[in-house]
Amino acid sequence: MRYPPIIGSQDDEVAYQSLKPKHHPCPQCGKTGKRKHVVTRRMAHVAALNRRCWIVADVGVYKARCACCKYFQAAIPGVPRRGRYSLEVRNTVAHALIRDRLPYLSVIRRMQEE
């Protein structure tokens, strides 16, 4: 997933607004839960031209009406559930390990440079 308007400085932010509706379905069973409060999540992301940026999202925390869980958060597009990094960061690391055949410590150094 690419975000073309984020080309710029080394610390760009991509903000999402619509991740906090009043009711949201449970990720396991699909039964709707009611929003209790809103938290701000910040995840690392690789932007265009291999620049690092952050995904900043206001995410609703919902109380479940089912027995699957007590509380859950709305999903952020491009970020796995409970993930600290976007899928683009994971793909970059996987390409460095598999395609470029870099050792693990070199991948860490490469990601710090980018």
DSSP 33: E
Q: Mean of the pLDDT values across residues 47-61? A: 76
- pLDDT at residue number 15: 63
Give the least confident one: 29-33, 52-56, 75-79. Answer: 52-56
Higher pLDDT, 95 or 6: 95
Higher pLDDT, 23 or 50: 23
- The rounded distance, in Å, linking the Cα atoms of 59 and 18 is 8
Both tokens assigned to 82: 């409970």
- The rounded distance, in Å, linking the Cα atoms of 10 and 18 is 26
Both tokens assigned to 81: 């559930």
Higher pLDDT, 33 or 15: 33
Please give the angle made by the CA atoms of 20, 44 and 58, to the nearest 5 degrees. Answer: 15
- The rounded distance, in Å, linking the Cα atoms of 57 and 76 is 8
- pLDDT at residue number 89: 82
pLDDT at 11 over 80: no
Kindly list the domain boundaries of the chain, sorted by start residue: 4-113
φ/ψ (deg, to 5) at 104: -60, -45
- Sign (positive or negative) of CA dihedral 83, 87, 89, 90: positive
Say if CB 96 and CB 113 are below 8 A apart.
no
- The rounded distance, in Å, linking the Cα atoms of 39 and 90 is 24
- pLDDT at residue number 36: 93
78-114 residue pLDDT tens = 888 888 888 888 888 888 888 888 887 888 777 776 6
